[in-house]
Structures are given as structure tokens and as C-alpha cells.
Structure 1
């Protein structure tokens, strides 16, 4: 699939890391006629956006880490001729609830229609929450329509975006903690929680956090392509990076696996170029490049540059990822058709008060119980990932919130705490099911339950993401301040790394995060301005 390291020792561009952003950058730059080498330490490219057979005896290819696509611009798909198929889910979300001993739920359709209004009325007793919901998301959609097209352009100034935004929403999202807006706009705890969860994916924060990190996370989850819709890639997440790898290779880029970069030198103003030490094929070689693009977290780049790193500044991921393979979908106590409930995002233990309680428990060093989380069934939208399996088989992906890496820091208790977290995740789902999860979990050819779980430390070990942080660090606003110096291409495109000719091109770049290709696209544009 990927080349060995050739004897060539000089390139226009060396990309450190073969994740989706590195492949995006390589494809753009190679198409522009530059010589490009992508160096990947693993035995395959794709980073977090890969599909793999996880359970012995089943050909099903799971999206093991990243699992949905929202921020990948249609323009990148078109520019690189990727031929990807991104399918809309028939349900936006379903939230099962138990109130006064009765099982019910909140259904949000895609596209939103009468059943959404009816569901909100049944849950809350009036149309007031639906009207608040409709107004809020209408305003957010208008802002997304402003921001979305800017993501593949030089960074706009805050004032440029602000003048096109609803002034009330702008204040709520960019100047005050998001929790204030949700508490003012909505009355129902479940409705508040469903809205709040987009602020907490991979982000450990209170809804009233004064840093506004939760606000930035919320915004990124709702601005992709101006709609914020999260879609399922047909063929799994690996189809995304396979297409990007093919585009890069087809344009002439060299994709080299089993090639670990051990040091980067250069990038000093006035000297030009940089050197990259790479361990591959039993030895170490030094490659020269006019530009180095770092498709690694800024924390990792600092280490490769030989800089001192404050351990306290290391990113801290905050999630539990669990993949299941089920013999059939379980029935829900609310009576809703499982094919509807599981087709979108299934919210669990995510009432507003549940989210705040879980944060407090985790901050105090305890595994939250019940554990807030979300479930996705990709095979309802894309059965092609299943392969030849018994009828009724389905995938299930669980993403747990408020589980910072610090909860698992002690190696002596890590396995026990991971098991507790997985049990807590299953328990919060089981309370809404007629059929407990373990009664419908498939078993592999060795008789083991088809359950695969990853805590932040395992994400770091597998993918090199420091602290298991899925965004490589806290997200930044997708614009720059009105007074920032944007005189260089790297600054204008949000990919500056503090060194000349060394640029960020991964999720740690400005406007990076999630499966978007934006870090790679924007780094490539900066290089093309400089080259």
C-alpha cells in the first residue's frame, strides 16, 4: 500500500504524520507540483480515521476511533476528486427518558418536522420548548452559514463575523458561558442537556466554565458545511482516508509507513528549510525539506523540536470509546422502533443536571455514575460495513463524556477503573432497554463478547495523541482577533508553529479538530503562498 523510504534525501515538503490532515495537505501540494513525502510511524496511514476488523470471526469493519463526518468541506472532496459518499442519518437524535416510572423519549427528526414538535410537547407539556428550540437552532444555523464558508479561506477577523451574526447569539456564544444561554432559553432538563452535549464531546468542562472552551466545542459541532450535519461515510471512516491516500499518491506524493520521526531541526528565521530525522527500515536518516508540516499535536511537535515542555500543559483527553457488535438491536422500554431510536445519536444520562453532576464527580476523582454518553449505530445507515454476517447483526458505538485521562493516571488501578467505566456505560443504556446489552452482544470465534473499549491512555498509545485528546488540545475560535498580526501566510491560515518553514497541519492548527481536512488544506495553502 505505502512505499518504503526511497534513497532521496531532499523534498519540497515533508509531512510528519499520515493522518487525514497530512494526507489532505500532501494531495494538495503534490497536485501543485511539489515533491512531498508523508512519514507515518504506524504500519498504515489514516490516523484516527480508520476502519478495521475488531472481532475475530466477523468481517465487520468498525470505525475504531473517529466515527462521523461533519466538518469536512464539500470543496475539499471536490478539489481532490475523492468520490466519497456521506450519508445523512434518518434520525437526528433520540433521548430515552424515565419520568415518574414511565418510559418515554425525545425524538428529533432529520429533517425536523411535526414529530419533533409532538415529541417535545409530549415531554414538556407545551409547545414552549419547541419554539425555543426552533428559535435557538435557527439562529445557530444562520451563524453557521456565515462561518462555514470561511473555514477554507484565510482567517477572518472577529469583527467580520460579528457584524453578520445575531448580536444576542454572538454574546451568548462568544462572550458568556454557554450554560447561561441554555438556562435562560430552555426550561426542561432533558432539552437543556441534549443541547449542551455538543459542547462537551471530548471536552472536560462545566457549562459555566469562564474559559469558554465548552462554547468553542459547541460551535465546531454545528458549523460544518454551514449546516453542522454529522454524516456517515459509506464504507466507514477508513473510506475517507483511503480516498485521501489515493489522491495524494496519485498526485505523486510518497507515503511512507513504519517511519517514525525522532527530531526536527531548523525553521530559524533567515536560514530557511528544515531537517527531519526519521527512523525507518532499521536505521535513521535525515531528510531535508523546504517546509515541514506537522500533522501531530503541538505538544508532540515541541518535543520533536527539542523544546522544554511543561507537563502541566500537556492536553488531557476526556472520553470513553466503546465499540460493540450486536446480534440484534435491543428493544427500548419506551416502545419506539429501535431502527428509529438507534439511527441517530442516542443520548444517555445527559440531562443538564446529570452533566453537571458527572463533571463534579470526575473532577473529584471518581468515575461518574450514571455516566453521560451517546450511542451511534452506523450499520443502520451503512450496512456495507457489516460484511457477511447473520441477519440482524449491527454495530453500536458508545462515546462517554466527562472521563478525563487523570481518572486513569495510576497504572495500578487503570484496568479496574476502565472496567468500572465500561460497566457504568452499559448500565446507563440498560436502564432504558427491555433487552440488556449483554443479552444481545455477539460473541467472537473465541467465545468472547464483541466489546472493544478505549480510554484516553489507550488512544495516546495507539495514535500518539497526547493525553488521548481527540482535538490535540483545546479548540480555538475559527477567527482571529481584530488586532492580531496576520502578515504571514502561516498566521493568515492559522497554521503557525512559531518556526519559519515549520507549520502545523493537524487538529492542533487553528480551525483543526475532528475529521475535517481543514488543518491539511490550510497548511497547504500557506505553503503555496510561500513556495
Structure 2
């Protein structure tokens, strides 16, 4: 069978695949990108989630931190990212009439808020920690779009042995215990180590440390920003850049197999097509790639496991708080932490290991529409409507099956709403708008729902366990793919998604680095 040949065939049209396509096509390479869905963008999409309601939610991914300004500039992406004034608000679980509000623009107000919950000393401790993580970010983030440093080289870039040992070599929980006196302050920091990661903060695997690192290094600041217009704008701009550069992007194309020699088979509109690539870039989880290669029964990449429940809501207005000293606009203007004290996070992990939904469930909320009302119609804006995105933590995929998914979704959604209500002055259910059919505007996404919608095994948002953004000193670096952290055991097949080293989050880094490795190899 004759088949078309390309310099690169990219499997998966999420934002990383689009990034790789844009870079390779701009370099004059022939590129074919195959996406099984009818829409490009993967998890980085905006959608009208509620029937007949003109609100375009960032349905899966929600914030941007790790996307380098370098990629935005080099690809000419027209993306506007908006900062949020407030870092976070966290009610005291034992007394939700009090809470901790951290204001980026008013240090003294933040200091006073720490004092109001009896945590005066932890204001300075928090400042010191983030001064330290900023130094870590300035040292490491510039390497994310370059060949990987070794562990020794990365340590030397930081130039602080004590800080390196504290954040990289020992469980994060130990650092939080040393630095903070207040349980709530420790918990606020700890949540950055647990989003999408099922672990204890004291686990010697250091999974929490790696998750924390990726949350605090983005663009050398660790700031998490909102894309104006919703997450779909990011993917649409990457799609534009790839098309204008000459890449061929095919949707509705389900890849059924990949061969080590670069042969890719896909099914579209009932017929099968075979193409060949000098390089195949896999913008799918390594576990999915293993299946496409027919190798899952041999060498074992473990099946990933996610650990979050995501709930999207559309409200007629923001809810009133039990804490009357803080406005709803301020509380929801950053990350709203609920039942996320350090001890509660650790207890929730233990409860989940035993098979119980944590009670109360640790949650955090993001209100996109406060910062970016453009995702709502003018009618919704005038009426005061707001979106909420809620993440429940420590809810592992191991609980879910095809048979119980609907029931578990309902139970987890109920746990999320109960956690919200524990700190609100009115039931959240009374504020939820109805869609055109009369159904409440609320949707919950379990890890299994993410697997179904996004081919994301286990609902793991990182495509697997996060890896350090450096190589061990004795690691192989003989090939370009190894040096860029995108290698597989097959020389012609590279990772270009979140499963690549330094690939987690909406960043484009995995796609960029795979493209750089391909260009280096083909040039040789």
C-alpha cells in the first residue's frame, strides 16, 4: 500500500501537539497532525457546557502558569493573560466566620489577616518561602526550553545547598513543619503539591515535591494567570500558528496503531489510512502510546492514576460568606481554599486510601468570570452571573469503574457541594442557574470522565508521575531526544505531551522540546 510520508506525524491535537506542529512547520518540515476528536485543543478548550446558556467555560484545564513567554513570542500567539489581585482566601474550618485573605497588592492587609487567625509569625514565613521558591524558579525555569541539565548542574544553578536539600531531596511536609506554626498556613502551601497527585506530603517518593515544584516555577514567578476569552483561546492561537506555517491538521482521525519504523494507521469516516513519518511525536500519555505500539503486555509503564474531581458551576451571583469581614469578590478573586488545612489534607489521604470519600472533602475554587467576564454573554454579565470551577482533592481513580462511575460522580459532586456549604452563609444549591431545559448548571468530571473525553488514562492530568526537570548525573544523553527529555525506547518515536519530562500543565513545553529534538536529529 502506498502511503504519504512526512517529516513528522503528530498523534494527538492537544496544545502540545499543536505547539510541536507550529515549530516544525515553521522550520520547513512536512507535518501531519492527527486528532481523534472533531475539535483541536485536547484539555485546553472552552465550551458552552450548559444547554442554551451563553457561557464558555474552560471545561478541563483552567489556568496558565508554565507556558513560557518565549513560546508565545516565537510563535506570534495573540494571547492575553490576566493576573489576579488576590492570591488566596481560606476560611478557618473550625470557625468559618474567620479566614485568611492574602492580597498581592497590600502586604499590610495580608499581615493583618494572618494576625486575625492567630498566625502572625507565619506571614513572614510565607514571604520567606516564596522568596525561596522564586530563587528556585529563576534558576530552573530558563532551562525548561533547553536541553536538560544534570542534577549536579541544576543544583549548581540554584547555588543554595540547604534550599536544594529542603525542596528537592526531602519530603515537602518536613519543610512545612519547620517553616510554619499554623496548620492553615501549612495547608495553603501544601495544596500546590497535591493537585492531580495522590500522595502524602511526607511520602519518601517525593511525588508531592515534584508537583509543588511545577506549581511554583512558571515563568520564573510561579504566577498562575487566566487566559482572556478562556482556555480555548490558547489552543486556537496555536492552531492558527500551525496552519499558517503549513502544517496539515486532521480532526476526526483516530490513530489505531503506531509502528517503530514510523508507520501510523488511523481511521477516519469509516476508512483506514496509513501514513509514514521520519519521526512520530506522541501527544498522548506514555501508557496510551504503549498500547498503540502493541507493547503493553511486555515492558510495563504503570497505568497512571489521577486523584481529583472537577465541578463546573454557573451561579446567578457569588455566594455570601460566613466571614463578613471579606467581600465575596475578594474571596473568590484568587484561589478559594476550603477544608485544606495541612492535617485535613493528610487525613483525607488516609481516608481515601481506606476507600472512603474524605469528609469534609478538601476543595479549591477558581472564579474565571470575575477576572475575565468575556466568557459570559452581556445578558449574564448584567445579571451578575459568575462561574465557579471547583477541584476536590484526594479522590483517586482506583475507586471508579464503568459500572459505578455515575453513582460515584453523584457522590463526589455531593461531597464537593457539602464542603462548599460548610463555609458559606447560604446553600450553594440555591444560587445555581438552570439551563434551557430546566436542569441546574452544574457538571462534574470524574477521573474516568476525563479518560473517556480526553483519552487521559486514570484521569491523570500529567499523563503519569511528574519527573524532575533535570537528568540524573549518570543518565544517558546520547541522543537529542534524551537530552530534551522526550525519548522513548524507539529512536523514531518521541513524546511531545504532558508525559514528556517537563511536560505537565498547559505549557507547550513538551511540544516545543520534542520539536527541537526532531530538528536537531534531522539536521544531523
TM-score by length of 2: 0.96
Match of 2:472 in 1: 481
Give the Å deviation of 1:319. Answer: 0.5
The alignment status of 1:69 with 2:69, answered yes or no, reads no
Give the Å deviation of 1:402. Answer: 0.4
Match of 1:188 in 2: 182
Q: Quick check: 1:459–1:468 contact (8 Å CA) kept in 2?
A: yes
Match of 2:271 in 1: 283
Using the alignment, how far apart are the partners of 2:119 and 2:207 within structure 1?
A: 33
The alignment status of 1:262 with 2:256, answered yes or no, reads yes
Partner SS for 1:487: coil
Q: Quick check: 1:367–1:417 contact (8 Å CA) kept in 2?
A: no
Change (3 A) 1:460 1:359: same
The alignment status of 1:427 with 2:415, answered yes or no, reads no
The alignment status of 1:52 with 2:41, answered yes or no, reads no
The alignment status of 1:456 with 2:447, answered yes or no, reads yes
Match of 1:129 in 2: 122
Change (3 A) 1:528 1:125: closer
Using the alignment, how far apart are the partners of 1:424 and 1:49 within structure 2?
A: 26
The alignment status of 1:408 with 2:400, answered yes or no, reads yes
Instruction: Flag structure 1 segments of 5+ consecutive residues without an equivalent.
Output: 1-6, 268-273
Match of 1:85 in 2: 80
Larger mean Cα displacement after TM superposition, 382-391 or 108-117: 108-117
Change (3 A) 1:311 1:526: closer
For residues 211-226 of structure 1, the aligned pairs below 5 Å read 211-226=205-220
Could you tell me which of 15, 40, 48 is aligned with 2:10? 15
Match of 2:286 in 1: 298
Could you tell me which of 384, 397, 400 is aligned with 1:392? 384
Total equivalences in the alignment? 516
Could you tell me which of 307, 310, 318 is aligned with 1:329? 318
For residues 290-369 of structure 1, the aligned pairs below 5 Å read 290-309=278-297, 313-335=302-324, 336-369=326-359
Partner SS for 1:37: strand
Match of 2:98 in 1: 104
Change (3 A) 1:9 1:102: closer
Q: Quick check: 2:305–2:457 contact (8 Å CA) kept in 1?
A: yes
Using the alignment, how far apart are the partners of 2:156 and 2:5 within structure 1?
A: 47
Using the alignment, how far apart are the partners of 1:389 and 1:430 within structure 2?
A: 27
Match of 2:434 in 1: 443
Q: Deviations over 1:321-353 (max 9, x none)?
A: 000000000111101111111011000110011
Match of 1:24 in 2: 19
Match of 2:148 in 1: 155
Partner SS for 2:117: helix
Partner SS for 2:379: coil
Q: Quick check: 1:58–1:389 contact (8 Å CA) kept in 2?
A: no
TM-score by length of 1: 0.95
Change (3 A) 1:181 1:45: same
Q: Quick check: 1:22–1:295 contact (8 Å CA) kept in 2?
A: yes
Q: Quick check: 1:63–1:236 contact (8 Å CA) kept in 2?
A: yes
Q: Quick check: 1:362–1:407 contact (8 Å CA) kept in 2?
A: no
Using the alignment, how far apart are the partners of 1:308 and 1:424 within structure 2?
A: 36
Q: Deviations over 1:278-331 (max 9, x none)?
A: 111211111011110000000000111110347882001110000000000011
Instruction: Flag structure 2 segments of 5+ consecutive residues without an equivalent.
Output: none
Using the alignment, how far apart are the partners of 1:164 and 1:115 within structure 2?
A: 35
Q: Quick check: 1:367–1:407 contact (8 Å CA) kept in 2?
A: no
Q: Deviations over 1:31-60 (max 9, x none)?
A: 000010100001111000000001112110
Partner SS for 1:497: coil
Larger mean Cα displacement after TM superposition, 287-296 or 424-433: 424-433
The alignment status of 1:371 with 2:361, answered yes or no, reads yes
Give the Å deviation of 1:250. Answer: 0.5
Q: Quick check: 2:141–2:217 contact (8 Å CA) kept in 1?
A: yes
Q: Quick check: 2:194–2:393 contact (8 Å CA) kept in 1?
A: yes
Partner SS for 2:266: strand
Could you tell me which of 230, 239, 243 is aligned with 2:233? 239
Larger mean Cα displacement after TM superposition, 386-395 or 399-408: 386-395
Using the alignment, how far apart are the partners of 1:155 and 1:29 within structure 2?
A: 20
The alignment status of 1:164 with 2:130, answered yes or no, reads no
Larger mean Cα displacement after TM superposition, 304-313 or 251-260: 304-313
Q: Deviations over 1:446-486 (max 9, x none)?
A: 11110000000010000000111000000000011112121
Match of 2:173 in 1: 179
- Give me the CA root mean square deviation: 1.4
Match of 1:3 in 2: none
Using the alignment, how far apart are the partners of 1:125 and 1:174 within structure 2?
A: 27
Partner SS for 2:352: helix
Q: Deviations over 1:8-48 (max 9, x none)?
A: 71111100000000000000000000010100001111000
